[in-house]
Chains A and B, each alone.
Chain A
Amino acid sequence: MAAVSVSTPIGKPRGVFNTQLAGGRIPLTPSPRSSPYTPPRSISDRQISQPFATNVPHLRSVSRTHRDSPKSNIAKTKNSPKQLELGLSNWTLTGTGPALAQTPIRKPKTGLRPRAKNTIRIEAGDRYIPNRLASEGLHTAGLGKPDHDAKPKSSGLGSTILANAALDLGATSAEDDVIAALDNLDIQEEDDSRKKNTDNAYESSLASACGMSLNQRILAFKPAPPESSKPIDLRTQYNRPLKPANTAGAQFRRRVLTAPERVLDAPGLVDDYYLNLLDWSSGNQVAIGLERNVYVWSAESGSVNCLLETTPDTYISSVKWSGDGAYVSVGLGTGEIQIWDVEEGTKLRSMHGHDSRVGVMGWNKHVLSTGARSGLVFNHDVRVAQHKIAELVSHTAEVCGLEWRADGAQLATGGNDNLVTIWDSRSLNAPKFQKTNHKAAVKALSWCPWQNNLLATGGGSYDRNIHFWNTTTGARVNSIDTGSQVTSLRWSPHYREIVSSSGFPDNSLSIWSYPTLVRNIEIPAHETRVLHSCLSPDGQMLATAAADESLKFWKLFEKKPGTPSLSSRESTLSGKGTEMAKQMTIR
């Protein structure tokens, strides 16, 4: 059958072209076209391709022989969805009308049409690959083309022109022939494609292509895309101004003193991120743990006292003032917790329970929360003998950050397991929220003084982010990539700002506006990483202790006379501060 069909075209010039068309068509129409336009295109392709037939199609058809198989399957499977698309797409955004045109075009040859389409698709994958075989096949077919191929193109012009003319005239009538030929080919392919190879390269290639299909593979880019840095609410997105908030003019930025107000030596300060060795009391005293000693430095008098020295087998791992500034709790490497009366210089009690070092503590009135290397957090009622009143189980690695909210309703803890846990003080059996967004240990935690349910947390070296949380809903409301390890965070009570201290590589202090997240200033604070920071009771001064064994005081949040500050509101919140403000000095 195939031979017959082929021969007929050979006889007539038209027929020749038709076969060419078939050959040319196939490669021209790309298989994957899913557009509604497909039908019109195939028609148009046919006509267009005719002029081209002399050059391009041959080349393409050749490639077919190489890549035999699997294309057709894919192409076929795709056909059906595409056809569906046609119908669907009509009504929507496509402005072009061709989809409509399609149906009428198809109708006349309903039976034959689809198949022709299939073949077209199959071939589509191949392109622009010159192929000896194919051209030969065409030659055998007896077309006028061979001449064209063989000769320089300029000479071939005449023939192509003729060909075109013939095509134009016979395009419609030829179509039937082509389809018939294709039909035959399809059938034959089932039988034996080998025979025909010798006779007709074109046919064989077509057949093999039809039979085996799939010259194409679907490849996916395997690596997982990066996580988005925060939850997205698209509804807000569409209203977004184009300019990012960061461009808010520099002229609005506050001037900040960049030189330290005072520098003290802190010899023997343990360079350990997981400890919390510095705290400033509401009574304006700074306690710092240096190896086995706790020193208390009075900001008013400038005097220094050694409060205590531990036994040689352990060291100070955390220091925290009670809310009234009368007592300091000291966590030790052994897991013991001592409470000292600073005025008297005496130890009031020892509390045991942790079996590993206590790296962080926090007071909420008479309740002392302690976080240990084991990952456990205990609440101690320091007034009673059976001091342990709650065990907060959430972290699986060392707890290094712990902050009570000013009103004592919530507790935030951060650990070396990269977890931020938010607890409701009324139900400590289970965490209220556990946040896994940080990719490194979370030491820096700070509750916003003017918005009760806003918590800032900062991650370690591999994370470098500050995340802001709504602790009522558990949602992350903002994030900053600081570019370095975040070792501590402190909100300013006077400005809508937060200061972060950095470890490697910056060793700096950064002041960020909130909620714009603009970095107002970055102060190169220390030679080595800043380990701890604390705010003075009046909120103007920040003390930082760094691994370079120095303790520096920075007037970051200086209150300017005449500038309205937030403090009036804050003072009611925090209960301390304003009355302190005037008298506070550093000697």
Chain B
Amino acid sequence: MADEKEKSKTHKLSLKGSSKLVAEFFEYSINTILFQRGVYPAEDFSPVKKYGLNMLVSSDDQVRAYIKKIMSQLNKWMLGGKITKLVVVITDKETEEHIERWQFDVSYPPATVDPNTLQVQLLSKPSKRSHAQNSGDKENAALDAGQIPQEKTEKEIQDEIQAIFRQITASVTFLPQLDGNCTFNVLVYADQDSDVPVEWGDSDAKEIKDGEKVQLRGFSTSNHKVDTLVSYRLAD
């Protein structure tokens, strides 16, 4: 029993760590989008080494404070597992039309394996992960190692995240040119029972009408899976 308790403890920790990692990913994502899409001038950003990349993070006090406010709440929600989507909407200041929408889907499946390996699993053998975890059955654990998200090393996760940022950066090549006169909003899809501070209010989805959508990569940790999707207004 004691053993089991300990197990559950470590599991909790990893959940916390995973939430933190996802939240951090969001923070860098927001910064990257603001930079790449020219919501704020390039000079307002300074490079920071992260995920093995030079991430550009806003150095503008106001923007930083704004993002910090968002992140502090996001962290809480992430920890509580209250969030299923984070959306960054880029809006034209003049027409107030939503012209770009970056959506990060968070899922909390125990089976957070990317679809490819899932297919493999389907065909070859179903995962027996739950036993392995609960019983501490080393044999099974070893067998399933490849398919168990927990076994993913930090390096692998970082690589996945890195790939996403590379994609976001690369996506400017196919996204329409923005005229630089844009602003942004952050939306969150939260559970009904979430605590909602006053700064946050109900909103529509700010979807892009007749938008083109492009699925980008995702990453997963032991407790979270994050998928990235950008939708944008088609050039006229």
- Nearest chain A CB to B97 CB, angstrom units: 16
Mask, B199-221, CB within 8 Å of A = 1, is: 11111111100001111111000
10 A-B pairs with least C-beta separation: A220-B203, A232-B180, A226-B62, A89-B215, A30-B107, A48-B111, A98-B115, A44-B118, A32-B84, A234-B38
B95 CB-CB contact with A under 8 Å: no
Contact B191 A93 (CB under 8 A): no
Contacts of B114 in A (CB 8 A): 96
Known: A216-B84, A221-B200, A240-B42. A98 touches B119 (CB 8 A): yes
Complex Cα spacing A157 to B75, Å: 36
A438 CB-CB contact with B under 8 Å: no
B235 CB-CB contact with A under 8 Å: no
From B84, B190, B202, name the one whose CB has the most chain A CB atoms within 10 angstroms. Answer: B84
What residue of chain A has the Cβ atom nearest to residue B114's Cβ?
A96
Contacts of B183 in A (CB 8 A): 224-225, 227-228
- Nearest chain B CB to A379 CB, angstrom units: 35
Known: A85-B213, A154-B135, A228-B40. A98 touches B110 (CB 8 A): no
Complex Cα spacing A40 to B118, Å: 8
- Nearest chain B CB to A366 CB, angstrom units: 42
B2 CB-CB contact with A under 8 Å: no
- Can you name 7 A-B pairs with beta carbons within 8 Å? A48-B127, A52-B129, A55-B134, A93-B215, A232-B181, A234-B178, A235-B177
With A160-B131, A230-B41 known, 18 other A-B pairs at CB within 8 A are A31-B84, A34-B103, A37-B115, A44-B119, A49-B110, A52-B110, A54-B130, A55-B130, A85-B215, A93-B167, A101-B119, A125-B192, A222-B200, A227-B183, A228-B40, A229-B40, A232-B180, A237-B38
- Nearest chain B CB to A112 CB, angstrom units: 20
Contact B130 A51 (CB under 8 A): yes
- Nearest chain B CB to A51 CB, angstrom units: 5
Contact B115 A229 (CB under 8 A): no
A250 CB-CB contact with B under 8 Å: no
- Nearest chain A CB to B66 CB, angstrom units: 6
Which residues 149-183 of B have a CB within 8 angstroms of A? 167, 170-172, 174, 177-178, 180-181, 183
Contact A44 B108 (CB under 8 A): no
B185 CB-CB contact with A under 8 Å: yes
Complex Cα spacing A94 to B38, Å: 24
Known: A154-B134, A234-B177. A167 touches B193 (CB 8 A): no
Contact A89 B214 (CB under 8 A): yes
Contacts of B103 in A (CB 8 A): 34
Contacts of B110 in A (CB 8 A): 28, 48-49, 52, 56
Contact A28 B111 (CB under 8 A): yes
Contact A35 B60 (CB under 8 A): no
- Nearest chain A CB to B59 CB, angstrom units: 9
Which residues 28-84 of B have a CB within 8 angstroms of A? 37-44, 46-47, 54, 60, 62-63, 66, 69-70, 73, 81, 84
Contacts of A48 in B (CB 8 A): 109-111, 113, 118, 121, 126-127, 129
List chain A positions with a Cβ less than 8 A from chain B. 28-37, 40-41, 43-45, 47-52, 54-56, 66-67, 70-71, 81, 84-85, 88-89, 92-99, 101, 124-128, 152-154, 157, 160-161, 164, 167-168, 214-238, 240, 242, 244-245
Complex Cα spacing A242 to B47, Å: 7
Contact B189 A218 (CB under 8 A): yes
Contact A30 B108 (CB under 8 A): yes
Mask, B1-26, CB within 8 Å of A = 1, is: 10010000000000000000000000
Complex Cα spacing A56 to B107, Å: 15
Chief secondary structure at chain B's binding surface: mixed
Contact A229 B130 (CB under 8 A): no
- Nearest chain B CB to A149 CB, angstrom units: 13
Contact A44 B121 (CB under 8 A): yes
- Nearest chain A CB to B175 CB, angstrom units: 10
Contact A244 B43 (CB under 8 A): yes
What residue of chain A has the Cβ atom nearest to residue B56's Cβ?
A242
Contact A85 B229 (CB under 8 A): yes
Complex Cα spacing A43 to B180, Å: 43
Complex Cα spacing A89 to B216, Å: 9
Contacts of A71 in B (CB 8 A): 192
Contacts of A221 in B (CB 8 A): 69-70, 73, 185-188, 199-200
B233 CB-CB contact with A under 8 Å: no
Contact A168 B126 (CB under 8 A): yes
Complex Cα spacing A48 to B202, Å: 35
Complex Cα spacing A35 to B229, Å: 7
Contact B189 A242 (CB under 8 A): no
Mask, B114-150, CB within 8 Å of A = 1, is: 1110110110001111110011000000000000000
Complex Cα spacing A85 to B105, Å: 14
Contacts of B131 in A (CB 8 A): 51, 157, 160-161, 164
- Nearest chain A CB to B103 CB, angstrom units: 6
Complex Cα spacing A54 to B42, Å: 52
What residue of chain A has the Cβ atom nearest to residue B58's Cβ?
A226
Contacts of A81 in B (CB 8 A): 207
Complex Cα spacing A84 to B207, Å: 13
Contact A223 B199 (CB under 8 A): yes
Contact B122 A44 (CB under 8 A): yes
Complex Cα spacing A220 to B204, Å: 8
Complex Cα spacing A156 to B132, Å: 13
Contacts of B54 in A (CB 8 A): 242
